[in-house]
Structures are given as structure tokens and as C-alpha cells.
Structure 1
Amino acid sequence: MTHCEPYRPLPDPDDGVRYEYGPFSVPRTRAPGETRSFEIVDPRAYPGTTRRVWVHTPGGHDSTVPAAVMVFNDGWWYLDPDGDVRGGTVLDNLADSGDVPPLVGVFVDPGVFPDAENPKNRNVEYDADDGRYGDFLATEVLPRVAEMHSLADDPSGRGICGGSSGGDAAFTAAWQRPDVFRKVITFNASFAQMPDGNPYPRQLAQGVDRPIRVFLHAAQRDLGWGRREMNWFAENLETAAALSRAGYDSRVVVGDGGHSPNHGGVLLPDALRWLWH
């Protein structure tokens, strides 16, 4: 069936583009979800760090009935109802409309060292290309969430989302632990700044296979655009091309503007619909 898209003029090619939010990014449901939180102190994966985790459960959903799960990196930044992504609002609206099954949203802050001069551990956790972050979510975060709400065991009912370095972490968690996560959303992923470079185009070209589904977003004027090295936009496109060549179930959306969470936030409702279609 052919779908007719309304005409939209092409934005000016600069960093100042801002996208307008759609109806699923503003409160509209009569059954808003509930948000609770807990703290993780000195986890095995990242000793000495502390972080907060918010758990957003869909309104009216029986907590004893196993639910699908969507993890969001950068915790509160993605949950904040007045922020750029508005994850809880989107989950409520999609569950209320029936466009996706009721999803338990798990919003995980990156770790900090409370008393350190440089407290942030975000890039250490998010830009690594190993299995430590995925293992941390699987063994130290999701079991705590399961104490609050029954979770589905099927990895095809578990997704993870992140932007910038959080996009690296989302992709890597599913790549390393497809037994836990098989749905991925990345917004403006920072593959370019992974310590040993972006490993995924090479691994995909070598035939490394994972049973994952990927929604990938890139911005035309992302960091380093037009450069040969450290080009965020190019690395996202090369990852998307490698996924396509390898026959992955994937979708790439390219926007204008720079390294901003705005367009990803606008896309989140449709990205979730596509992932769970």
C-alpha cells in the first residue's frame, strides 16, 4: 500500500534546525504511568560508582503480568517530561493507544564517583566496545527492576535506547548480549569516539551476525561533519550501510542540524512503533 507524505520544504543546511514534537510526545493519556526509583551503589561492574535508576511502569498494567522492557541510557535526561526525549510520556501514550505492548521503561543514569575531582564515568561505561555494560544491565539492574514488576524473559521483548555515547552503549549492549537485548535505538551515536575506533562496520563486513533489530538516527551537521577523521555523521552512515549490506532488519533516519537530542526525541514514538511492529 502506498503512503502519501505531505510536502515539506528542505530545511536550511545549518546547525540551527529544530524539529517540532508530535502528539505522542505530550501528555494525552487518561492513565499515566507510575515512576519509582532506586540507587545502585558500588556495583560489581563499576566499583566505587553510584547511580540512580528510574522505573516507569504503564498505567493500569498488572505488575504480576510479565512485560516487555525498554532500557534508556542517560536516565533522567531521557525520562524528564520537560526534556528533549520525554520517554515516560511517550511510553504512556503508545501503551494507551495500543501501538506497542505495555513497556516497562528503565532509565539508567551513568555512574559517578561521588567524591572524585572528575566524578563522571559516562564515557568509560558508554564508549567501550566490550560486554561490561550489557552484563551490568543484565545482572545488576534488571534483577532489581524485576522485584518491582514482572519482566518478560524473551530477549526479543527487550530493547535499549541511547543517544551520543549512550547510543554506543545501546548498540554495544545488544551486540554483546543479544541473549538479553534484541531491539536497539541509537540517536546521533558517538561511534567515532570509541577508544579503538568504530568496530561495527568491520565486524559486520566480516560476517559477524547478531539477531538484533536496529533503528539508527544520524544528523547531517553532527560533530566533525565534513572531516576525514572523527566524523560522527559518517560513522553512523557507515554503520547503517554495513547493517544493510549484512541483511539486518534495520532502519536509518537522517536529519538536519547538529549534535542535539531534539530530533531523536521527536522520532522516539515512531522508532518504538517500528521496533515492535
Structure 2
Amino acid sequence: MGALAVAQTPSSPPRPRRPTPPTRDPHSPGYVAATELLDGRVPSPAEDGNFIIGPTHNPAPEMTVQEGVPQGTVTEFTMESKDSKIYPGIAREPGTFGKADPDDPAKMIVTTSHPAPYSRRVTVYVPKQYVPGTEAPFIVGADGPDKMLFTALDNLIAQKRVPVMIAISIANGSGDAQGSQRGLEYDTMSGLYAEFVETEVLPLVEQKFNVKLTKDPDGRATMGGSSGGSCALIMAWYHPEWYHRVLTYSGTYVNQQWPSNPETPHGAWEFHERLIPNSPVKPIRLWMEVGDRDNLNANVMRDNMHDWVVANENMAKVLAAKGYHYQFVFARNAGHTDRTVKQQTLPEALEYVWAGYGKK
């Protein structure tokens, strides 16, 4: 008897390897003037402006569990796409990628994205000092869970360097970049993701954990890295009545939006190209970081709007020109959303972002 034929699934084409980003000099022509700190130092949370740190990135002491410090509770629950009125779910076929529009290199064409279900985890940190049922400030983070954030908050709250706050760490809806659920959530220049959080996530958090989340935008913060970082600013930009405080690592202030929107054809690149310079100042306080080896041309588009370092440098320029309270950290010896940089800087970043809270 002949051997049975075994059906084989064709293998997906390999994704093109990204070239290693060059190391950028923070004193390059066109970059913002910045204060270079001694190696191992981070800026003061009392100072606005531009700073250069590194090349050594040792963890701050607040990033380690400390004996005798009250530890908050960390609990997860799951949200299903079938229960969402805002995000029913999409996915891009595995092994497929978009193509640059030959008539417009700033536009990505994706033909393999389709409806698809997803599950997401929501991780909620409630500090030991929180009194159940009382109104509390909070921070919403992308791409959760974020254990580093929870440890930092334990120590910073105990030291009274930040308010007693709740942290809500929301996982994305899967995938990455154009045509994915994550890309749709984080890279879309609109208030939709903030509206999803406001109407579908926060009510569940209050219901499940007997907490009361403040409605005061000065007591609400957002944070994230990469596209989660641009999402954090997008939330506050389109809904400043909900959020005033933003913290971003390697923010994707580049042209990553899909589907294309004629009102913001260059995606989050529009922040420093047009939106911030041409808009009245909004009540947003922003801490942001970029690495000297951060992403450069990370996809097939050659639109000159995919350099993460230039994007963040441009953000610092326009924020300064408009008089925003911001702190920009350029990290030497650091890659995209560099873990060692976050371990070094997160306590100071949180303290900067929350400066002035409760002192109206």
C-alpha cells in the first residue's frame, strides 16, 4: 500500500529584515538644544525642557520591590470583541504586509485585513492606600500588563511623590501596524480609542473593583510605548476634557495610520507637522523619550515620515514653541522602547507627569 499523502500548508513568506537603525547624535543639525546630564543621572521632575542621558542605564531603586513598602493588588479580567460596540475586531492575514501606494508613498495599501475576533486582558492595580469607594486619580497604559509601572507606583505612592492612584493596563486587540487591531486602536488619529476606554473599560473597572475613578481630567493620565505612546497623546489631544497628563517611550509620532484619513493624511506625523503648531495650546503635560538607535524606516514606505528620532525631536521643537509643559529625554545607547531606559527613568517620568496635581 502506498504511503498516504500528507497535506502541507504553504509557508508564509518571511518578513523582510529591518535594517539596524544607525546611532543618532543628539547634537545633530536640526535637533533641539538639550542639556547633557552626567552618565547615570536623570532630569529633575521639577524641570521642563530637553535632556540627554546615558550611556549607562541602571534601574532606579524604585523599580525594585522594597521591604516594608505597601504593595497594591494586581488583578486581571478579560474583554471579548463580541461585547464591544466600538471595536468588533480586525486582523491582517498572517505573513502578509501592506504595500506603499505607487501614487502616494505616504499611503499604505492593505488588502488582507478582514473582520476577526479577539480577546484582551485588562490588568488593574489598586494601591494598598486606596480607600474603597472614594474617588481616585488614575493612569491608563497601553500594551498591558505593565509590571514595572505597578512596582514603581508602590514605591512612589509610599514616598508621597505621586498621588494615590489606580493603574489600568489594557492589552491591545492583537497584531501590529496597518491592517491590525492594535494598529487600528493606537495609530488612528481620532478620539475613538479614548471613547472605547471611557465607555467600555472604565465602567467595568469601577464595577469589578469597587473603585471610583475621578472625572477630573487633571487627575487622569495616559502612557505607552511606540504606537501605544502615540495613542496616549492621541487620547489626550482629542479628549482633553478627559486627560491632561501623558507619558511616552519611543512615541510613534510617524505616518502609521490606516485606513488613511484625508483630514490627517500623515497620521501621527501630523502632530508636529501641523496640529500642534496650528492649534491653540491644550492643557496637556507631556513626558517623552527616544533612543539614539530608535526606529528608522521600519516598513516599506519611503515617505520620509518614519524616523522615530526625528519625529520626537520635532515634537520637542513644536511643544517648546507653543509653550507646553513638557520634558524630552534623548537616551544614548538605547533602542526602541528600551527596557533599561524605562527602568532608569520611569519613577522620574511619573513624578514629572503628576507634578502640580491637587495644587489648583
- With the length of structure 2 as denominator, give the TM-score of the two structures: 0.66
Q: C-alpha deviations, 1:122-163, integer Å up to 9, x for none?
A: 122111111111111111111111222111221100000000
SS at 1:264 equivalent: helix
Does structure 2 retain, via aligned residues, the 8 Å contact 1:217–1:264? Answer: no
Q: Is residue 2:311 matched to residue 1:272?
A: no
Does structure 2 retain, via aligned residues, the 8 Å contact 1:69–1:105? Answer: yes
Structure 1 partner of 2:63 = 25
Q: C-alpha deviations, 1:199-231, integer Å up to 9, x for none?
A: 111111113432111111111221118x95411
Aligned-partner residue type, residue 134 of structure 1: A
Structure 2 partner of 1:83 = none
Give distance in 2, aligned partners of 1:9 and 1:122.
Answer: 34
Give distance in 2, aligned partners of 1:110 and 1:18.
Answer: 31
Q: Is residue 2:199 matched to residue 1:139?
A: yes
Give distance in 1, aligned partners of 2:249 and 2:320.
Answer: 18
- Structure 2's unaligned 5+ residue stretches are 1-35, 42-53, 89-116, 258-264, 356-360
Q: Is residue 2:315 matched to residue 1:253?
A: no
| Mean CA deviation greater in 169-178 or 37-46 | 37-46
Give distance in 2, aligned partners of 1:9 and 1:63.
Answer: 39
Give distance in 2, aligned partners of 1:166 and 1:9.
Answer: 26
Structure 2 partner of 1:162 = 224
Aligned-partner residue type, residue 106 of structure 1: I
Alignment of structure 1 residues 1-277 onto 2, 5 Å: 7-8=38-39, 19-28=57-66, 29-42=68-81, 43-47=84-88, 48-76=117-145, 78-79=146-147, 86-112=148-174, 121-147=181-207, 148=209, 149-195=211-257, 196-197=265-266, 198-201=269-272, 202-224=274-296, 228-256=304-332, 257-262=334-339, 263-277=341-355
Give distance in 2, aligned partners of 1:204 and 1:7.
Answer: 32
Q: 1:208 and 1:265, CA in 2 relative to 1: closer, same or farther beyond 3 A?
A: farther
Identical columns (%) = 29
SS at 2:275 equivalent: helix
Does structure 2 retain, via aligned residues, the 8 Å contact 1:163–1:261? Answer: no
Q: 1:6 and 1:189, CA in 2 relative to 1: closer, same or farther beyond 3 A?
A: closer
- Structure 1's unaligned 5+ residue stretches are 11-15, 80-85, 114-118
SS at 1:124 equivalent: helix
| Mean CA deviation greater in 260-269 or 138-147 | 260-269
Does structure 2 retain, via aligned residues, the 8 Å contact 1:72–1:162? Answer: yes
State the Cα distance separating 1:63 from its structure 2 match.
Answer: 1.7
Q: 1:64 and 1:173, CA in 2 relative to 1: closer, same or farther beyond 3 A?
A: same
Aligned-partner residue type, residue 39 of structure 2: R
Does structure 2 retain, via aligned residues, the 8 Å contact 1:174–1:183? Answer: yes
Q: 1:207 and 1:36, CA in 2 relative to 1: closer, same or farther beyond 3 A?
A: same
State the Cα distance separating 1:64 from its structure 2 match.
Answer: 1.5
State the Cα distance separating 1:261 from its structure 2 match.
Answer: 3.0
Give 4+ residue runs of structure 1 displaced > 3 Å after superposition: none
Q: 1:103 and 1:216, CA in 2 relative to 1: closer, same or farther beyond 3 A?
A: same
Give the count of matched residue pairs.
256
Does structure 1 retain, via aligned residues, the 8 Å contact 2:173–2:181? Answer: yes
Give distance in 2, aligned partners of 1:89 and 1:120.
Answer: 31
SS at 1:267 equivalent: helix
Does structure 1 retain, via aligned residues, the 8 Å contact 2:129–2:164? Answer: no
Q: 1:126 and 1:273, CA in 2 relative to 1: closer, same or farther beyond 3 A?
A: same
Q: 1:36 and 1:192, CA in 2 relative to 1: closer, same or farther beyond 3 A?
A: same
State the Cα distance separating 1:6 from its structure 2 match.
Answer: 8.1
SS at 1:217 equivalent: strand
Does structure 1 retain, via aligned residues, the 8 Å contact 2:137–2:166? Answer: yes
Aligned-partner residue type, residue 258 of structure 1: G
SS at 1:168 equivalent: helix
CA-atom RMSD in angstroms: 2.5
State the Cα distance separating 1:59 from its structure 2 match.
Answer: 1.2
Aligned-partner residue type, residue 46 of structure 1: Y
